[in-house]
Structure 1
Amino acid sequence: MAAATAKHAELHRMVMTEHTCPWGLKSLDLLQREGYQVEDHKLTSRAEVDAFKDKHGVDTTPQTFIGGKRIGGYDDLLAFFGKEVKDKDATTYTPVIALFAMAALMALAASWAAFGNLLTVATVEWFIAIAMCLLALQKLKDVEGFATMFLNYDLLAQRWVRYSYIYPFGEALAGVLMMAGALMWLSVPVALFIGTVGAISVFKAVYIDKRELKCACVGGDSNVPLGFVSLTENLMMVGMAIWMMLKPMGIGLGH
């Protein structure tokens, strides 16, 4: 009887015509995966939701009860089962890892489609160019947010604020042109300039001034720490620009 009680849970979650609470669905799924029989109470109106909150003295739904004891919301349920509860303000490298992994896979796919071979010189070139485009895309989603974060450490932007708004477009332009192997007279100087200024700025802020800042490299809402990742981004642009200058004249990207 005790075992049966231990595997029984009550879940109260919001399921209304205009809104189904995603955290309620997550809670239901988690309980079922943990082997619980769930008594699923659906709160189908605002009046029911408000009445439930007043009765139990809570501010949010969903709410889970196990063995007659209130566990709480989805995060509380994760903690109850000993699972990781993510800190929304914690620093993370996940966005950067995902971005570079996708850039690498796209470069490999492009090389395979173009040459029937995964590992070519073009694979590396495309990887850098695609990574630049994807990084620029992250910034362009919220240019204002990026600019605000960028102004914390970029030396040129601190002297000329408008540069913080221009930077994402410059990175996107250079990446697209390098991907196409076109207008190298434009893309190479742009990549070399913004990459050099960026690398110097990051190196000074992190390794000389020892400041702990968030990196604007994947957008203004990221929790990626400033340092190795941003320095790598800028050095990749510098390296790509130098490589394109050293390539024989008339040979485009991917040949």
Structure 2
Amino acid sequence: MFIEGRRIGGYDDLRRHFGLKVAEPGETSYRPVIAVFAMAALMALAASQAAFGTPLTARAGEWFIAFSMCILAMLKLQDVEKFSTMFLNYDLLAKRWVRYGYVYPFAEGLAGVLMAAGVLTWLSAPIALTIGTIGAVSVFKAVYVDKRDLKCACVGGSSNVPLGFVSLTENLMMIAMAGWMLAVMNRGAM
């Protein structure tokens, strides 16, 4: 790009020339997480609208968590090797049993799909409860006890999302969803 006869360079240089922000390599970004949760929320509202004629239902809340889990699992499975390598940095079970880093995205995806379908709650809820609890304890220990500055593997192995509140929230949402589904299942059995 040339401006007034002076070579500016490519896209990033042009942005800098006009005083606009340019993302630096390795820079922290919450954009991937925001995109996942925003899309999952919109999908849940759309599914609720299609199924019940209104976007705001309890089922939309359930679908939001289930769809979030499915999207996050898909991102992890794009490069399960990179994901498991990042995951090993903080997950307590993966540190003891390395294969868990490879199992986790499949388990998260399976639980999410079953929860979205509303089937096999006896299987999906314990899976979500187990991986959510292990994840929440691992993130809490790494970030708030050990005070480690790590990248989160939650949106796959190539993200620059810092491990912390967002990761903890993801795990707590899984725990809450599992508890909710178990409670609903038990209520239905009575």
TM-score of the alignment, normalized to the shorter chain, above 0.5: yes
Superimposed CA distance per residue, residues 25-71 of structure 1 (whole angstroms, 9 cap, x where no aligned partner): xxxxxxxxxxxxxxxxxxxxxxxxxxxxxxxxxxxxxxx33333322
How many pairs align?
Answer: 188
Return the alpha-carbon distance in structure 1 between the equivalents of residues 59 and 8 of structure 2. Answer: 55
Partner SS, residue 8 of structure 2: strand
CA contact (8 A) 2:121 2:185 kept: no
Deviation at 1:228, TM superposition (A): 0.8
Deviation at 1:248, TM superposition (A): 4.4
Where do 5+ consecutive residues of structure 2 fail to align? none
Identity of aligned pairs, percent? 70
Deviation at 1:233, TM superposition (A): 0.9
Superimposed CA distance per residue, residues 161-201 of structure 1 (whole angstroms, 9 cap, x where no aligned partner): 00000000000000000111111111111111000000000
Partner of 2:140: 203
Runs of 4+, deviation exceeding 4 Å: 248-251
Indicate which of 164, 186, 196 corresponds to 2:123. Answer: 186
Greater RCO between the two (CA within 8 Å, min separation 6)?
Answer: 2
Partner SS, residue 2 of structure 2: strand
Deviation at 1:250, TM superposition (A): 7.9
Deviation at 1:241, TM superposition (A): 0.6
Return the alpha-carbon distance in structure 2 between the equivalents of residues 169 and 186 of structure 1. Answer: 14
Q: How does the TM-score come out when normalised to structure 1? A: 0.71
Return the alpha-carbon distance in structure 1 between the equivalents of residues 98 and 68 of structure 2. Answer: 25
Partner SS, residue 247 of structure 1: helix
Where do 5+ consecutive residues of structure 1 fail to align? 1-63
Write 1 or 2 for the structure with the bigger share of helix.
Answer: 2
Partner of 1:103: 40
Indicate which of 13, 19, 23 corresponds to 1:86. Answer: 23
Deviation at 1:72, TM superposition (A): 2.2
Partner of 1:120: 57
Indicate which of 147, 155, 175 corresponds to 2:84. Answer: 147
**1:172 and 2:109 correspond:** yes
Deviation at 1:114, TM superposition (A): 0.7
Deviation at 1:118, TM superposition (A): 1.3
CA contact (8 A) 2:76 2:155 kept: yes
Q: How does the TM-score come out when normalised to structure 2? A: 0.95
Return the alpha-carbon distance in structure 2 between the equivalents of residues 203 and 115 of structure 1. Answer: 38
User: Larger radius of gyration, structure 1 or 2?
Assistant: 1
Instruction: Tell me the amino acid that sits aligned with residue 222 of structure 1.
Output: S
